[in-house]
């Protein structure tokens, strides 16, 4: 019986077994693997090396919930910022949409991928959560985002960050399966991948154990979003933090480090006049004292629904310097794609208030 799942996300051995189950030779599976991952085929009709009769038979009976056996998505809209950052709005097979972003630099291309359609975490400074959560993404829908950016930007992605729409740790199995596929089938290294979380109670030790079971070792970077040095302010910015006290989150981070041997990176969005003052930097340094970690500072990127202010550059530098002076490893992330609403916290699955298809073009 033909499995009602897309082929994208399967490894070479799985594709060989799938081809054999269809009455084909095993090498047809290797051809499928090459065309799906190396060539980025969008449908089986495009894979000209496959027997025409087989392609036609499969096309007449596509898998449930997919446009085509390939598992590739359809591009609804493309916007390109002045700095080259490219945002894609992609259609899912059930009529929903997701956003993914390609961020180019001199010697790298980072793909910011989504793990869910929408988000349930409702962080006040983030546009994605304003519409709530609709569902989690499947493995092929995550991997497709990387292939789509590669195709549009005509460059091989060097890094992938799970910092798009959704909370990755509410979709752990699919995220780990996608990481496995990116490394095994697209030739990436785990060290080129970052998984970002705002914090789901008791999920970090479980993530560590599942990672070792699924991937054999944990080498991707775990980025935990703090955004405040104390519980009261964190609850104000992240309502779901009420169910996850800051001390419990940090204890779970320590357990993650103990299990994996990997340090944790902490994300901290600086909101002008709210959490970017010297006292906040001092409190954050005290909070992380003795921790095997790195702090990534991010200047707030404005969204329509909130009146938070972007911090001035002097405040950002002062905050960075205060952490550094207290022996906290720290860096400042440059904002990319602001003029295309493609910067951190600005993804929202929207095209002029509509999700209707549009022609790709620059903004």
Ramachandran angles phi, psi of 251, nearest 5°: -65, -40
Across 98-109, average pLDDT:
94
Given the residues 99, 141, 167, 267, select the one marked as catalytic.
99
126 part of the active site: no
Given the residues 112, 119, 253, 344, select the one marked as catalytic.
344
pLDDT band at 63 (very low <50, low <70, confident <90, very high): low
* Nearest in space to 84 (alpha carbons), one of 293, 336, 257: 336
Alpha-carbon gap, residue 162 to 140, rounded angstroms: 15
- For 167-204, how does the pLDDT look when each residue is reduced to its tens digit (9 = 90+)? 999 999 999 999 999 999 999 999 999 999 999 999 99
324 part of the active site: no
The per-residue pLDDT of the chain, averaged, comes to 89
Token pair in block for residue 124: 């006040």
Instruction: Give the rounded percent of residues in the chain with a pLDDT score beyond 90.
Output: 75
The pLDDT value given to residue 3: 41
Token pair in block for residue 141: 């829908």
- Burial of 51 (C-beta count, 10 Å sphere; 0-12/13-18/19+): exposed
* CATH class as words, domain 12-60: mainly alpha
The pLDDT value given to residue 352: 40
The pLDDT value given to residue 44: 87
The pLDDT value given to residue 131: 79
Strand order in the sheet with 86-91: 74-80, 86-91, 97-105, 108-112, 159-162, 193-197, 221-225, 264-270, 293-299, 330-333
- For 327-355, how does the pLDDT look when each residue is reduced to its tens digit (9 = 90+)? 999 999 887 555 445 445 455 555 543 33
Q: Which of 12-21, 133-142, 352-361 is predicted least confidently?
A: 352-361
* CATH class as words, domain 74-340: alpha beta
CA pseudo-torsion sign 71, 166, 179, 39:
positive
Q: What is the DSSP string of 309-341?
A: -PPPHHHHHHHHHHHHHTT--EEEEPP--GGGT
Domain boundaries, the chain: 12-60, 74-340
Examine the pLDDT at 133 and tell me if it is beyond 60. yes
Residues with Cβ within 8 Å of residue 227, at least 6 apart in sequence: 123, 125, 234, 237, 238, 267, 268, 269, 275
The residue with greater pLDDT, 276 or 351, is 276
Across 101-127, average pLDDT:
92
The pLDDT value given to residue 344: 58
The residue with greater pLDDT, 221 or 3, is 221
Instruction: Give the global pTM.
Output: 0.90
The pLDDT value given to residue 342: 46
Examine the pLDDT at 54 and tell me if it is beyond 60. yes
CA 345 distance to own-chain centroid: 12
The pLDDT value given to residue 338: 54
The pLDDT value given to residue 334: 80
* Nearest in space to 113 (alpha carbons), one of 49, 157, 78, 71: 157
The pLDDT value given to residue 62: 64
């Amino acid at each position: 019986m033909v499995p009602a799942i897309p082929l994208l996300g399967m490894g070479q051995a799985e594709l060989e077994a799938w081809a054999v189950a269809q009455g084909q030779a095993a090498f047809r599976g290797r051809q499928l693997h090459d065309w799906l991952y190396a060539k980025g085929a969008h449908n089986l009709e495009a894979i000209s090396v496959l027997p025409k009769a087989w392609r036609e038979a499969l096309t007449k009976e596509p898998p449930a919930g997919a446009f085509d056996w390939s598992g590739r998505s359809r591009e609804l809209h493309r916007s390109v910022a002045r700095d080259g950052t490219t945002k894609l709005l992609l259609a899912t097979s059930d009529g929903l949409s997701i956003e993914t972003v390609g961020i180019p630099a001199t010697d790298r291309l980072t793909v910011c991928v989504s793990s869910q359609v929408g988000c349930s975490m409702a962080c006040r400074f983030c546009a994605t959560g304003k519409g709530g959560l609709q569902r989690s993404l499947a493995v092929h829908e995550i991997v497709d985002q990387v292939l789509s950016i590669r195709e549009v930007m005509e460059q091989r992605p060097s890094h992938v960050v799970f910092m798009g729409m959704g909370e990755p740790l509410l979709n752990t199995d699919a995220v780990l399966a996608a990481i496995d596929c990116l490394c095994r089938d697209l030739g990436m290294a785990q060290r080129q991948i970052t998984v970002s979380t705002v914090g789901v109670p008791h999920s970090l030790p479980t993530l560590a154990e599942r990672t070792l079971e699924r991937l054999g070792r944990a080498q991707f970077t775990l980025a935990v979003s703090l955004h405040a040095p104390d519980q009261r302010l964190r609850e104000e910015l992240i309502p779901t933090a009420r169910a996850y006290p800051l001390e419990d989150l940090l204890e779970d981070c320590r357990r993650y480090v103990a299990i994996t041997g990997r340090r944790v990176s902490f994300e901290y969005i600086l909101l002008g006049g709210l959490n970017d003052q010297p006292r906040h930097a001092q409190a954050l340094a005290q909070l992380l004292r003795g921790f095997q970690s790195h702090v990534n500072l991010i200047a707030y990127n404005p969204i329509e629904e909130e009146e938070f202010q972007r911090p001035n550059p002097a405040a950002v530098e002062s905050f960075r310097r205060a952490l550094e002076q207290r022996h906290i490893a720290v860096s400042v992330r440059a904002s990319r794609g602001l003029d295309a609403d493609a910067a951190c916290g600005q993804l929202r699955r929207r095209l002029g208030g509509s999700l209707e298809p549009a022609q790709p073009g620059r903004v």
